[in-house]
Amino acid sequence: MPKKILALYSLAHLWVDLSCALLVFRTMAGDGNFVLCLLLYNFCAFALQMPLGLLADRLNRNGLTAAAGCALTALAYLPLPAVPAAITAGTGNALFHLGGGIDVLNAGEKRAAALGVFISPGALGLFIGTLWGRRAAPALWLGPAGLLALGGAILFFRRGPSGNSPLELTPKGGYGPLLPLFLVVVLRSYMGMNQTFSWKSQWALALTLALALGKTAGGFAMDRLGPRRASAGSLGLAAVCYLACALPGPGLLAVFLFNMTMPVTLWAAARTLPGAKGFAFGLLTFGLFLGWLPSYLGWPNLLTGPAAYAAVSLLSLVLLWVPLRGEAVRC
């Protein structure tokens, strides 16, 4: 994939997530249906990617899908009631991620560096959008203006057929590898929602950057070392660092290392379902939704400290060991 297209998709990813967070926390936070809006937004943005992914795989117009996602998210900024706005923004978010994600996966083939670059800006976008939404700055119109501009640019450069493989839901090597990949994503999402650090509020930006840069680094590490060795190294070191996460330095490093496997899991799922990359992408984002749900429902936190965080890292490594077995060569 040309670098300018990857940069465009990455910038759009940041702005889509920023715009969604800005909309939610600026216009919905005071609404009586805010709790319902959060549920519907996250369901549409993450769980809905599975069925929408099948449509995107068949449509074979990834640029159009991503641009439509930008436009639909911008549409949510119209003076709509909170619940329809949440559904519209969440669906637009899902369409953008699918269009951009499938396009990057198609271009990457055996490599994951571009995928890591594409997915990493989302965390920073959510951080900035949440901050702006809660502090009533900047002007609200900047969200849809940026979405329409970036969506138009994507449509201009990527408006033709995308080269998706013919739709095929039968996994290469069977369904077995998908379950551990799915569980790793559920664990990662649950960990992200429930891990707490005494220094978190003072180091919020650094923590967000560690999360985002970890995803970027994970793609490059996989290309250099192979997915199995990159995952073993990052998760093993993350477990060690989590044991000392009461301190900001080891804690930030642990978050960085733990998130390095995100592009690896997406890449491996797409390799397992080469004829349904959008569905594979959506399957794992459904895992993100499930990992978020216990916190939303107010269930007790099962992660009670550094030892629990280290255990989740090691459990993730065990789960990844089998599905990455056939991909243990240098890419």
Enter the tokens of residue 146. 């940026």
Q: Count CB neighbours of 54 within 10 A.
A: 17
- Condensed to tens digits (0 to 9), the pLDDT of residues 96-153 reads 999 999 999 999 878 999 999 999 999 999 999 999 999 877 889 999 999 999 999 9
Confidence of residue 326 (pLDDT cuts 50, 70, 90): low
The token duo for 35 is: 């709790």
Residue 221, pLDDT score: 97
What is the C-alpha to C-alpha distance for residues 44 and 48, in angstroms, rounded to an integer? 5
Structure tokens at 154: 């994507």
Q: What is the pLDDT of residues 227-268, one digit of tens each?
A: 999 999 999 999 999 999 999 999 999 999 999 999 999 999
Taking the model in full, what pTM does it have? 0.94
What span, in angstroms and rounded, lies between the C-alpha atoms of 20 and 189?
Answer: 19
Residues 45-96: tens digit of each pLDDT: 999 999 999 999 999 999 999 999 999 999 999 999 999 999 999 999 999 9
Evaluate whether 17 touches 131 at the Cβ level (below 8 Å). Answer: no
Give the closest residue to 37 by CA, choosing from 45, 46, 28. 28
- Of 261, 257, 266, nearest to 285 (Cα)? 266
